[in-house]
Amino acid sequence: MVKISGQSLDNVVIPLPDSANITSRWPCAQHAPHRPIAADQGESHVGEFASQRHAAQPSPRPSAANGAHDHGEPFLAADVGGTHARIGLMLGTPVDRQPVRVLHYHRYHCADWSDLGSLLRDFVAQLAIAGHAPLQGRIRRCVVASAGVVLDDAIVNENLPWPVSIAALREQLGLAQLEVINDFEAVAWATQFLSVDETLPVIETAQPAARGPVLVMGPGTGLGSAVLLPRAGHAQVLPTEAGQIALAPGNEREIAILRVLARGRAYVSYEDALSGPGLLKLYHALCELRGCPVALMTPAEVTGAALAGHDAAALETLQVFCGLLGSFTGDLAMLYGASGGVFLAGGILPQIHGFLRASSFAERYFNKGVMRAFLQKVPVRLIEHGQLGVIGAAGWFLDERQGDQAMPPL
């Protein structure tokens, strides 16, 4: 988590009814007081609608948005991944039931833009068309959720299509304040507001999850993960780079695959297999091991062929992918003591939900020796990423501002 301050610094339109509510029945909602989210009409794509709803219960403590300084100032929240950048114009409100409002939202394809600053400037320029022209000149704050880590002035992530200089971005947008957090940290923060009805089951348990850490992870362009920690007063999220852990094969076939992946390199991470690019690497390795030509060129083609059942190498690829994911998910659930449950996110898994449930995912998830009994009490559910990163980044931002304002001067 990094704070930077300075002196200057698909799109299907879906109307969002104010009557739509989130009722926090997923046990992780107990980990922190409710900070409900309201969303105005915005732009979305299929699968994002569930993330735009309102929470129904008031926050038991004042939110940052309740201060006069916050709820009158619009700000930008961006969730930037290797493939898409999701941007929202946000506004805190003095209403406990709806402290964060999404005024406008748009999803961009990163490859279409030369840099993040140009993309964000376009979003601001489009606000006039969207009916928010009076707010354009008032945007002085921004929070960016991005995969990778911040080193000095740069966001370091090999999956981003361009380098990101924090100082240059602040200057380009004329911001007084710019903050950067991990993308899965933002998603994890937002999961406080999800109900079971807004998730899909992968592994169900006899009893609801206990109060405890909640693991949020998933493959997309990379492999992200974060942990929502229960705390009195407000949520705390631990961002991680667990996707960079060394890949551990679980059987002879995976050992053979690892040998292929490790050819000419000193290190192979889980992200090298459990991601969109990783899925393609698995497919290429299996084609070599099977002695068949490479016929599919993209992760989407591999997934499609596997689900259709007409390509044996693609089918085995997706089976291996799900097995490795089950092993890794179980490892992380043990590592962080995720008694509060596991959320799987990312851009790949919603497309293969049925396949995932029928795969070896659960077998590999539970195959942890004496820890099997613990994992049998840890449910795993699937969520659509959608606007969760934007909403989570905005909520985290306001929560942090409240914390900063409440601290006495040194």
Q: How confident is the model at residue 95 (pLDDT cuts 50, 70, 90)?
A: low
Give pLDDT, residue 146: 86
Q: Where are the domains of the chain?
A: 2-194+386-406, 200-382
Spatial CA neighbour of 192 closest among 227, 220, 240, 143? 227
Instruction: Enter the tokens of residue 284.
Output: 């290429």
| DSSP-assigned states of every residue in 67-127 | SHHHHT-EEEEEEE-SSEEEEEEEEE-S-TT--EEEEEEEEEEGGGSS-HHHHHHHHHHHT
Q: How confident is the model at residue 5 (pLDDT cuts 50, 70, 90)?
A: very low
The string of pLDDT tens digits covering residues 217-231 is 999 888 999 999 987
Neighbours of 132 (CB within 10 A): 19
Q: Say if CB 340 and CB 210 are below 8 A apart.
A: yes
Mean pLDDT of the chain, nearest integer: 80
The string of pLDDT tens digits covering residues 122-158 is 999 999 888 888 888 889 999 999 877 777 777 877 7
Q: pTM of the entire structure?
A: 0.76
Which segment of 3-17, 208-222, 365-379 scores lowest on mean pLDDT? 3-17
CA-based radius of gyration for the chain: 21
Give pLDDT, residue 210: 86
Which segment of 12-26, 218-232, 246-260, 284-298 scores lowest on mean pLDDT? 12-26
Mean per-residue pLDDT, 297-325: 97
Give pLDDT, residue 24: 35
For residue 395, what are the β-bridge partners? Answer: none
Spatial CA neighbour of 344 closest among 374, 371, 384, 307? 384
CATH 3.40.50.2300 corresponds to the domain 2-194+386-406: no
> What is the second-level CATH architecture of the domain 200-382?
3-Layer(aba) Sandwich (3.40)
